[in-house]
Structure 1
Amino acid sequence: MAMDRFVRALIQWQAGSRPEPARTLPVAHLRERYATQVGRLRGKSAQDPDIETKDHLIDGGDGTFRVRTYQPPADRGRLVTYLHGGGWVTGSVDTHDPVCRRIACELGAVVVSVDYRRPPEHPHPGPLRDGIAASEWADRAFPGRPHVIAGDSAGGALAMGIAMHHRDHGGIGFAGQLMVYPPADPELRSESARKYGTGYLEEVDDLRWYYDQYVPDPAHRSDPAIDLLSADHRGLPPTVIGTAEFDPLHDEGVELALRLAAQGVEVHHVPAPGLVHGYLLMADIIPAATEAVRNVLAAVEQMLTPVPTAR
């Protein structure tokens, strides 16, 4: 499918501004730029749903970090722990606030958004440990609810790492997991990484730099929570994977869905034709992105809705 015309215009606008590659910027400057870019998108979007939010500090074992809870107007008794994207290095509960509001409203779920501590100050396994602690806090704070572990981009990879941890340690039995355009291969060997690695908003050389910040020792990149394609997927919860057509990570997401299914996991793969990495943050300003987000959340809804049994 051809690239969405609004996305093409966004890419052309960005190219015209000649932004410096993420890998060349000081981390503080990069985080500020990311937050500003997301804020501009949000400023053009529809009004965010008016729902109750509250920030909490929780103990990560070696310090505290923040989570933000979202209480939906129509609570259907569900729970989502959400890990934001941004290459592990950038992103926050603030940048992904509109995403979590949408999830809360459309799924009727309490959402716990995790402001995990980020590299390079807190490399792997720090963000993963924060995510595990946050998911346990959420399960205690909102007991008895079907619990979905979710995230986009780097947060999607963290979500799967958290699911594997709980599977291996007799922890939370998640009702499902949601990963939207997750990084799954730290070597970035796919055809889409080559084909869409330059000129499609997310640069493959920046992705390599993000891995360098998150897992500075290449010897540790074989960890199953990093190399998701080589992980043991048996016993993981039902999974929704969203991919974007013009994304360096597209093929990794497709391959991950196939490998999960081959190991007996129920998988719903939701493609987003014509779109690029980061489309969750483009909802309400790009119609195709709005539709793609709806499709992803509809797949989660289907995953959580029991199938009636014949009498």
Structure 2
Amino acid sequence: MPVEPAITALLARYGPLPPLPVDRAHVEQLREQGRALAEDLVPIEVGAVEDGALPGPAGEIPVRVYRPEGADGPVPTVVFFHGGGWVAGDLDSHDQITRRLCRDVRAVVVAVHYRRAPEHPFPAPLDDCLAAARHVAEHRDDYGGGRLAVAGDSAGANTAAVTALVFRDERRPLDAQLLAYPPTDCSGTRSHPSRTENGEGYFLTTETIEELQRVYAGGDPGALRSWRISPLLAPDFTGVAPAVIGTVQYDPLRDEGRAYAEALADAGTDVFHRTYDGLVHGFLSLFEQSPASDAATAELFAQLAERLRP
């Protein structure tokens, strides 16, 4: 299937990501481009939105808490980690996504703004996400009191996948994980054909992915082979929380996302996985401009809601 026409128009409008390398001179340009996608959107109405902070390993972690309208009794809680290649993305760039997640799933959503590379490379972003998720898990009654999930898109999906593995290892209850177009193998030790097939021309290029991974790892190739950066390399997937995974046809990361869904399913995990034709990496940010992105977002959120029912 060709790229959806609405997506083609957006690719022409926004153009490619800023030039490489991703050094400090380009970081703000990347961050501004992420914020630009969210400009001029009419915020989706939810019951309440409040900015706050949670305790973290290096000080307070900024969060934004969304509560659904008309909640009567316990509701699920979703801890959400934004995408942006561990370099860009923030609470504002993903505000419309988390509002829709709150509305569609009828859940309290705790959006986490973790420290970002290159100022704070691995493990700082992951450490913040883990600290936030643990805090919410330990104070669940303050955030809905129902079932608990982690979720994220792109780099945030990577961190959500690692968080689910850590929660399994720590024997912390976790009821679901939502992973949208996740990078799961940054090691370079396995072949994923989509990194070549979709390596350029679809906004996110393979070259950019590899540079962002290098920056996240602080330039340490060995770190990229850790399952805490490449969750597909985890030694065991048994007992991991049920997963909802969305991959897309025209994404360099498509095949490693598929491989992760297969690894979880082979280990006995309940997995819903769909590869959406005609779409590109980042479609959660495009649901108001792209009918196919809207339908894909609706299905993923509905699948998550099903797994979070009492």
TM-score (norm: length of structure 1): 0.91
Alignment deviations for residues 53-80 of structure 1 (CA, whole Å, 9 cap, x no partner)? 1122222123222111111113361100
**8 Å contact from structure 1 (residues 41, 282) kept in 2:** no
Q: How many residues align?
A: 301
DSSP-derived class of the 2:45 partner: coil
1:285 paired with 2:289, answer: yes
* One of 33, 57, 80 as aligned partner of 1:82: 80
DSSP-derived class of the 2:62 partner: strand
Matches within 5 A, 1:31-50: 31-43=28-40, 45-50=41-46
DSSP-derived class of the 2:110 partner: strand
* Structure 1 gaps, min length 5: 307-311
Q: Partner amino acid for 1:288?
A: A
- Superposition deviation, residue 33 in structure 1: 4.2
Partner of 1:159: 160
Q: Partner amino acid for 1:206?
A: T
Partner of 1:309: none
- Superposition deviation, residue 247 in structure 1: 0.5
Q: How many percent identity over aligned positions? A: 34
Alignment deviations for residues 65-107 of structure 1 (CA, whole Å, 9 cap, x no partner)? 2111111113361100000000011111111111110000111
Structure 2 Cα separation of the partners of residues 274 and 161 of structure 1: 28
CA RMSD in angstroms comes to 1.9
Matches within 5 A, 1:189-228: 189-215=191-217, 216-228=219-231
Alignment deviations for residues 250-309 of structure 1 (CA, whole Å, 9 cap, x no partner)? 111111111110011110002221000000000111111111100111111222246xxx
1:104 paired with 2:102, answer: yes
Structure 2 Cα separation of the partners of residues 40 and 86 of structure 1: 12
When residues 283 and 128 of structure 1 are mapped into structure 2, their CA distance, relative to the original with a 3 A threshold, is same
Partner of 2:269: 265
* One of 70, 94, 112 as aligned partner of 1:114: 112
1:233 paired with 2:246, answer: no
* One of 117, 134, 137 as aligned partner of 1:136: 134
Q: Partner amino acid for 1:268?
A: F
**8 Å contact from structure 1 (residues 58, 134) kept in 2:** yes
Q: Partner amino acid for 2:56?
A: G
Structure 2 Cα separation of the partners of residues 288 and 53 of structure 1: 28
When residues 291 and 31 of structure 1 are mapped into structure 2, their CA distance, relative to the original with a 3 A threshold, is farther
Q: Partner amino acid for 1:272?
A: Y
**8 Å contact from structure 2 (residues 46, 67) kept in 1:** no
When residues 25 and 149 of structure 1 are mapped into structure 2, their CA distance, relative to the original with a 3 A threshold, is closer
Partner of 2:18: 20
When residues 34 and 51 of structure 1 are mapped into structure 2, their CA distance, relative to the original with a 3 A threshold, is farther
**8 Å contact from structure 2 (residues 152, 160) kept in 1:** yes
When residues 33 and 95 of structure 1 are mapped into structure 2, their CA distance, relative to the original with a 3 A threshold, is same
Name the stretch that deviates more: 253-262 or 73-82. 73-82
Partner of 2:52: 56
DSSP-derived class of the 1:56 partner: strand
**8 Å contact from structure 1 (residues 74, 105) kept in 2:** no
TM-score (norm: length of structure 2): 0.91
- Superposition deviation, residue 32 in structure 1: 4.3
* Structure 2 gaps, min length 5: none
